[in-house]
Amino acid sequence: MNNPATNRTTRRTLLRGLTLAAAGACLPTAVAHAAAPTAPAPAPASDDTETYAVTLTHLGRDGAPTTAYFTHLVGVSGAAAAVKEAFQDGAASVTLRVPRGRYLLDSQITTYAAEPETDWLVQPRLDVDGDTTVVLDARLAAPVDIRPPEAGAEHRLGGVFVEVEHEGGTAFANVVKANRHLRVGHLGPAAEPGSVRQWIDTFWKGERQGYALGYTFTSDRALTGLVRHPAPAELGTLTVRAVAPDSGAGYGSLDLMPTGPSAVSLPHPFRVPGATTFLMTPERGSWDLLYTAPVASDEATPNRYPASGVSVRAGATTTVTFDGPAFGPALDPAPAARPAGLRSGNTLSLALALLADGEGHLPSAPPYEGATTTLHRNGALVGTRRGAPGHAEFTVPPARADYRLSTTAARPGGRVTAAWTFTSCVSSRPVELPLSVVRFVPAGPAPGPDGTLPPGTTSQVQVTVQGAAAASGIRSLAVSVSTDAGATWSRVPVVAGRAAVRTPGPGGTVSLRTELTDTAGNTLTQTQIGAYRVAAA
């Protein structure tokens, strides 16, 4: 059984893509990934930079000086950009010397009661051009009153974040609370219009579902208090289903986090196979999910699946299923993702999620019982690699040649194989290989909680092409079905992106095979033995 993780705040970083080019290459490039630009780091202040005294005085809710605080002063622009100062539980008044510039100041002032209560004061615009005194007065804060439409729901976690921009620089601050006793307040003059971005997220546990209530604001000031009591009709529903993995049933865990640079995350354990449901505020934007499947023992490596950019609509239900059929290859949809196949100089490499689940979620540690990848060049064996499914690297001669790349992995109850043919030669820059994959998702009837389909029924299977063929065009596509683990095959038509597949009797399996050729003549043969199972009764 998994041990639920502790809550956490994440500051995400931008993944820089790999620059690819078709220049000098002997095959087309399906996708070009541009490297993200980087901003120059601020230069630290020199020893002879003129500085000024900044005095910070902390007052509690009773108006008296207090030492129960946690204060940050962070430079935003100019010579100030290199400054990051923090003070905690010291004298009520603190003086420091800093260079001229724009700063973000924030302070958490604590009042100790039955539970600690926090007043978070934010001054998004502190311009230091001479000696300065700032009074951080907790009495200026007002309550954050966010409540779900279920009176008995339990508050689990909340976080408030602020990001300030000025003259090309940015600064960030946040506060995270496990209880509801939080007040927030703005200090100082207004900043430039639109330069202060603030967002708040709260998580709640109800009797039958959770709640994720979040709001965003763009202004020239920080928040002073906030009241939000959404009605049920204003919320969207997110249902996350999970099928028991081959390692067996148990407890899985769902991390739910708003998409963006920084957010608070709360792991939510639930029984697998099963489902968990959240009512959410659509105006918060999209959400990133991380599902952790049950493991057979505490020593086993857990398998995790991410799902990014999941949105909800008010009054509607969005369903995401993890560990469901049919397991097979999938490409990483992230814009900065590494290509599945790459030719860099004399190195030809494969890095493909061969055992993604039915909705294309990429596994971190998929269960498998052996995996090999083999490369042939002009019909001659280059080599065979064993290790992680869909991952291998080969050294090849520079001249143009015809290649056949094949990768296979056995998983409990099945096997997945993908084989591609293409032409490649050395290039002055890395070139993406023209690999395609085909995704199969049972669209109706939907698989049951254990991932099986009913026996003796016709299932509509969604067929989706990813990769080079999706970008350049498909010359031919054929799908075949087997109900005897690949001993015999029957061709089925694909109409409007769907194939009608008849399931066998109770306890049987359905296997799928694809033969695809793109308009450039590159081919794929993909076989999924035991793609999905049929219910026992």
Structure tokens at 343: 């030719």
Q: Which residues of 190-221 are buried (b: 16+ CB within 10 A; e: fewer)?
A: ebeeebbbbbbbbbbbbeebbbbbbbbeebeb
**pLDDT digit string, tens, across residues 356-372:** 999 999 999 998 999 99
In a domain, 43, yes or no: no
DSSP 8-state secondary structure symbol assigned to residue 11: E
User: The sheet that has 391-395: what strands, in order across it?
Assistant: 391-395, 347-351, 341-344, 431-432
pLDDT at residue number 245: 81
Domain boundary among 208, 228, 248: 228
In a domain, 45, yes or no: no
Handedness of CA 481, 483, 486, 489 (dihedral sign): negative
**pLDDT digit string, tens, across residues 5-26:** 334 444 333 222 233 333 334 5
The C-alpha R_g of the chain, in whole angstroms, comes to 28
Domains in the chain: how many in total?
3
**Mean pLDDT for the stretch of residues 100-123:** 95
Residues 494 and 471 in one domain: yes
- What is the spatial distance between Cα 477 and Cα 466, in angstroms, rounded to a whole number? 13
**pLDDT digit string, tens, across residues 184-223:** 999 999 999 999 999 999 999 999 999 999 999 999 999 9
Q: Which of 1-15, 103-117, 140-154, 365-379 has the lowest mean pLDDT?
A: 1-15
Mapped onto helix, strand or coil, the DSSP state of residue 468 is helix
Domain boundary among 265, 300, 322: 322
DSSP 8-state secondary structure symbol assigned to residue 12: -
- What is the spatial distance between Cα 464 and Cα 498, in angstroms, rounded to a whole number? 9
Residues 379 and 521 in one domain: yes
The CATH number of residue 284's host domain is 2.60.40
For residue 1, pLDDT over 70 is answered with no
For the chain, what is the mean pLDDT? 89
DSSP 8-state secondary structure symbol assigned to residue 534: B
pLDDT at residue number 451: 86
Determine contact, residues 85/115, Cβ cutoff 8 Å: no
Structure tokens at 263: 């957010």
pTM: 0.84
**Mean pLDDT for the stretch of residues 260-273:** 88
**pLDDT digit string, tens, across residues 495-508:** 999 999 999 999 99
Bridge partner list, 14: none
**Mean pLDDT for the stretch of residues 97-117:** 94
pLDDT at residue number 208: 93
**Mean pLDDT for the stretch of residues 406-412:** 94
Residues 120 and 245 in one domain: no
The 3-state secondary structure of 21-37 reads CCCCCCCCCCCCCCCCC
Residues 417 and 282 in one domain: no
Domain boundary among 260, 290, 322: 322
Residues 83 and 152 in one domain: yes
- What is the spatial distance between Cα 72 and Cα 9, in angstroms, rounded to a whole number? 17
Distances (CA, A) of 134 to 125, 188, 501: 12, 9, 71
Q: How confident is the model at residue 36 (pLDDT cuts 50, 70, 90)?
A: very low
In a domain, 40, yes or no: no
- What is the spatial distance between Cα 474 and Cα 468, in angstroms, rounded to a whole number? 9
Ramachandran quadrant class, 168 (left: phi over 0; alpha: psi -120 to 50; beta: rest): left
pLDDT at residue number 48: 57
Determine contact, residues 291/304, Cβ cutoff 8 Å: yes
Residue linked to tokens 């230091």 = 128
Q: How confident is the model at residue 111 (pLDDT cuts 50, 70, 90)?
A: very high
Most confident of 30-44, 118-132, 242-256, 283-297: 118-132
- What is the spatial distance between Cα 393 and Cα 407, in angstroms, rounded to a whole number? 12
pLDDT at residue number 28: 33
How many CB atoms are located within 10 Å of the residue 282 CB?
17
Q: How confident is the model at residue 333 (pLDDT cuts 50, 70, 90)?
A: confident
**Mean pLDDT for the stretch of residues 26-37:** 33
Domain that holds residue 286: 232-322
**Mean pLDDT for the stretch of residues 450-469:** 91
Structure tokens at 363: 């596994």
Structure tokens at 458: 């016709």
In a domain, 18, yes or no: no
**Which residue in 360, 338, 352, 349 sits closest to 463, CA to CA?**
360
pLDDT at residue number 501: 92
In a domain, 9, yes or no: no
pLDDT at residue number 15: 27
**Mean pLDDT for the stretch of residues 264-292:** 93
Q: Could you give phi then psi for residue 189, rounded to 5 degrees?
A: -75, 165
What is the DSSP secondary-structure string of 44-84?
A: PPPTT--EEEEEEEEE-TTSSB---EEEEEEEEEGGGGG-E
